[in-house]
Chain A
Amino acid sequence: MAVAGQECRDLWLSGRGPLLLFAFSLLLSAFTYLAATNQAINFLEQREAVNLTLQIAVAVGVLVTLLVSADGISGERERGTLEGLLLTPVSRRVLVLGKLAAALTVWFATFVVSVPYIWVLGRGVSVVGQALLLSLVIGTVLAVGLAALGLLVSGLSASNKVSIAVSFFILLALFAPTQLPGGLPKGWFGDVLGRLNPVGAGLHYPTAILVNGHDWTQDLNYLIAPGVLVVLAIVPLTLLSDRIVQLEPGSVR
């Protein structure tokens, strides 16, 4: 608790958290304005506008979370503050879990910021509650998985720049295919690819419910990939924390 609390204070009182949140708000404002304009001139249905804004809010929210976690270990190393932490009896597992918890506060903050935008766009079609619940659940699963992945990358990277660049690339590689004009290639290959990509599959699920009107249970298999991402990132992060949290990346204690 002490580690997570201090990490949160470091993040929010240093100005990094508020700055990222401000940038997120600006981006979401611009995007919501465009979505609302398109909706007003009938290029977008109201449900589609809500879904599109939700997707951007989730994608950018988890991106910001990923970037914060990517700074978690490599950043401490470069600032010379990691050795002090390693001199305490606190286990390295507790240190990474504390950092993970702090990074997730960024996701929850972006979620809170996105609430009024989704509410404004979704008024009158009774999708606001569904959209917010979907955003919270899907976003939290993706944020946990990607933040853990970011910490793994951070622990193994030779420098903070490398860590942030690699993490940014990972998210782009996962998110970009979902935004291709016309979506992924049709057919079984495209379908498998869509289901394997945790971000793509995670963002498909709210689309199926909000836009296509599917039942909540109908497309549950799209949540397998995000769930697998969480397991594949959290398990090595906690089991290998002694090897990941090192003064020199990749060295053996």
Chain B
Amino acid sequence: MAQPNLRTRQLTKRFGTRIGVDALTFDAERGEVVGLLGPNGAGKTTTIRLLSTVLAATSGDFSVAGVPSSRPAEVRRRVGALPESAGYPRYQTGLEYLTYFARLFGHNRADAIRLASRLLAEFGLAERAARPISTYSRGMRQRLGIARALVNDPDVVFLDEPTLGLDPAGQLQILRVVRDIAARRRATVVLSTHMLAEVEAVCSKVLILDRGRVIKWSTVAEVTAAVGAPRSAVIRVPLDQIGTAVEAVGALPGRTVSAADERPDALRVTTTGSSDGMNAVLAELLRASVPILAFEVEGTRLTDAYLSLTGDAGAAADADIAKGAP
């Protein structure tokens, strides 16, 4: 049986007494987009740095396209990465920048220029190829960074918060690129992000970390289904019907009703039941002849699941970071 494209076993990184990543174990196949989630300080960036060999593991191992982590230079030939806070030489042009990196991956000058030009065209930067990177917008720089991550035609691509600071159009553009890398290039993409809507949109699997430990590794659908996370919705009804609505919904088991954002004609309903819990709420309101003026489910399903899994722990981790705990 063929080995998974990306395979990690008990991968651990300690910084002194602090655990960066603890016994990380997962497999990912070609064409998969893996969402790497977790609160700040959960170990997402450390995971990417370990798997791209920028950091060496304290223990455990991994392989990329069958190449073991004991051969880091060879692993680097098979991975591409866009670091979280990638910097760019301001005076270099996009073409020079990509050409340089292509040369570092062993291309001769002519091949490197050809490859750089092709990538610039592919990422919609051909017209700016000869302009200094300092004139690029943030979105263009992010696309240039992803293009750089692809100069070696990698088997695994790591993207650390690629949409951070981009406008909605820029975010959509990057997500299209992510899908394309997985679908056309058949690479495994590991996408670290805080934007759960992005994960729902492009990822097939999610790896949720908390304080360096894996707390969930599954498909997006399985995570949302298995967690049974509470869902909430804001329902607006005529003001004179609010009492009837509260009475009707409050009678349903597993639902709590509260005021919504201090609006007298709206109520927030939270359900811990099955995924169709909100359907029962709507049915009950209709049965009680309460006109529904507006109905809005809050957050995404994955957001609910994520908060359910990391909620307190995530807040505690953030507090640790704020206090400067190691």
Contact = CB atoms under 8 A, between A and B. Distances in A.
Nearest to A79: B87
B101 interface: yes
B87 A88 contact: no
Interface stretch (B28-36, B77-85, B201-209, B221-229): B77-85
Contacts of A158: none
Interface stretch (A2-10, A37-45, A183-191, A224-232): A2-10
Contacts of B74: 89
Interface string A167-189: 00000000000000000000000
B104 A80 contact: no
B316 interface: no
Nearest to B54: A86
Interface residues of B, number: 31
A83 B80 CA distance: 12
Given A84-B148, A91-B73, A253-B56, A13 B88 contact: no
B86 A84 contact: yes
Interface in A1-22: 2-3, 6, 9-10, 13-15
B104 A88 contact: yes
Interface in B47-80: 49, 52, 54-56, 73-74, 76-77, 79-80
Contact of A2 (B15, B76, B104): B104
Contacts of B92: 10
B54 A2 contact: no
A85 B52 CA distance: 12
A84 B91 contact: no
A233 interface: no
A89 B102 CA distance: 11
Contacts of A6: 100
A171 B92 CA distance: 32
Contacts of B101: 84, 88
Interface string B80-112: 110101111111100010001101111000000
A90 B104 contact: yes
A89 B55 contact: no
A3 B104 contact: yes
A162 interface: no
B91 A13 contact: yes
B52 A87 contact: yes
Interface of B: 15, 49, 52, 54-56, 73-74, 76-77, 79-81, 83, 85-92, 96, 100-101, 103-106, 148-149
- A-B complex: 10 closest residue pairs judged by Cβ atoms: A80-B87, A88-B104, A253-B56, A2-B103, A83-B83, A81-B87, A79-B87, A89-B73, A89-B76, A86-B54
11 contacts: A2-B103, A14-B91, A80-B86, A80-B88, A83-B49, A84-B148, A87-B54, A87-B79, A87-B80, A89-B104, A91-B73
